[in-house]
């Protein structure tokens, strides 16, 4: 009587491993892209929330924005990449200290609030490479998002 063994050949195993490798090569970057978008969206939400709190504070304090977030009792932890958010009252700031768009015009006239993004570096002009990944507030809050998209 002939005994037949059941199992996989080396070719079948190799093909299965190659297929799994190809699927992983597509899935991992897609998942990392999802995580990156989630971090940007979290920063956008936090900047939006603090913007509302700053306007509420201004309403209760003679129309002026606070010099610091701490002065307004606003606590804002670190951004999704572990860096501190940056706040500047633009109403009393020197024009050279204000962040600017690609045409060198200040992007806010009330206050500036932004995250330095994944690289933790920034520049005053949005078109600079260090500022491209920043999550910014511009047009006095009409835009909140990546500086590269502004």
Looking at residue 28, its pLDDT comes to 87
Q: Is the pLDDT of residue 1 over 80?
A: no
Q: How confident is the model at residue 13 (pLDDT cuts 50, 70, 90)?
A: confident
Of 138, 134, 140, the residue nearest 148 (C-alpha): 134
Of 60, 65, 64, 103, the residue nearest 87 (C-alpha): 65
Residues 114-143 have pLDDT tens digits of 999 999 999 999 999 999 999 999 999 999
Looking at residue 141, its pLDDT comes to 94
Looking at residue 31, its pLDDT comes to 86
CA dist 131 and 141 (Å) reads 18
Residues 73-101 have pLDDT tens digits of 999 899 999 999 999 999 988 888 999 99
**pTM listed for this prediction:** 0.81
When the pLDDT of each residue in the chain is averaged and rounded to a whole number, the result is 91
Q: Among 6-10, 15-19, 113-117, name the one with the lowest average pLDDT.
A: 6-10
CA dist 70 and 67 (Å) reads 8
The larger pLDDT score, comparing residue 76 to residue 2, is at 76
Contact 129, 150 (CB under 8 A): no
Looking at residue 23, its pLDDT comes to 86
| Candidate CATH numbers 3.30.700.10, 3.30.450.20, 3.40.50.720, 3.40.50.300; the one for domain 10-149 | 3.30.700.10
CA dist 38 and 98 (Å) reads 28
Looking at residue 42, its pLDDT comes to 97
């Amino acid at each position: 009587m002939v005994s037949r063994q059941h199992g996989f050949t080396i070719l079948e195993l190799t093909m299965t491993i190659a297929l799994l490798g190809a699927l992983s090569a597509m899935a991992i970057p897609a998942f990392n892209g999802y995580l990156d978008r989630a971090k940007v969206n979290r920063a956008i939400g936090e900047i939006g929330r603090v913007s509302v709190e700053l306007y509420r504070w201004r309403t209760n304090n003679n129309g002026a924005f606070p010099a610091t977030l701490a002065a307004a009792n606003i606590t804002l932890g670190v951004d999704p990449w572990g860096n501190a958010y940056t706040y500047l009252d633009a109403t009393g700031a020197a024009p050279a200290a204000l962040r600017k768009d690609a045409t060198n015009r200040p992007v806010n006239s009330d206050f500036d609030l932004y995250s330095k993004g994944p690289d933790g570096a920034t520049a005053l002009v949005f078109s600079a490479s260090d500022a491209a990944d920043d999550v910014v507030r511009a047009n006095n809050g009409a835009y909140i998002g990546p500086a590269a998209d502004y």
